[in-house]
Amino acid sequence: HGLFDFYLIETKKAQSIEKLVEGNEFFKRSTWSGVGKIYKHILSHQHLMARFISINSSAVLSTELKGFKYYSLNEMKRLPKPVLILQYLKDESILE
């Protein structure tokens, strides 16, 4: 609770990236530049399979999507993060 989180699309079954972004307002207004590996994350009450999609930041910042907060890299480093996001950021050398 109270942890920083990325934009999330949650499904019950695995889906292709194209299917996930199809018809999604956030992705319609941005360009995505990469898809990461699949992360398996086990919680006490569920097993998660997660994949991170990299978004072109200039495209995202130029949109006017309500309900989103944007952080600089320095601000993001200070935010409390879930283990799954922290692992992704370390794997991508975003956080050292």
Report the candidate in 1, 7, 2, 3 with the shortest Cα–Cα distance to residue 81. 3
Q: 80: pLDDT confidence band, cut at 50, 70 and 90?
A: very high
pLDDT higher than threshold 90 for residue 55:
no
pTM, to two decimals:
0.77
- For residue 31, the model assigns a pLDDT of 76
Q: Give me the half-sphere count of Cα atoms (radius 13 Å) on the Cβ side of residue 30.
A: 22
More confident residue, 69 or 50: 50
Q: 13: pLDDT confidence band, cut at 50, 70 and 90?
A: confident
- For residue 94, the model assigns a pLDDT of 86
Helices (H), the chain: 17-21, 25-28, 57-61, 73-78, 83-91
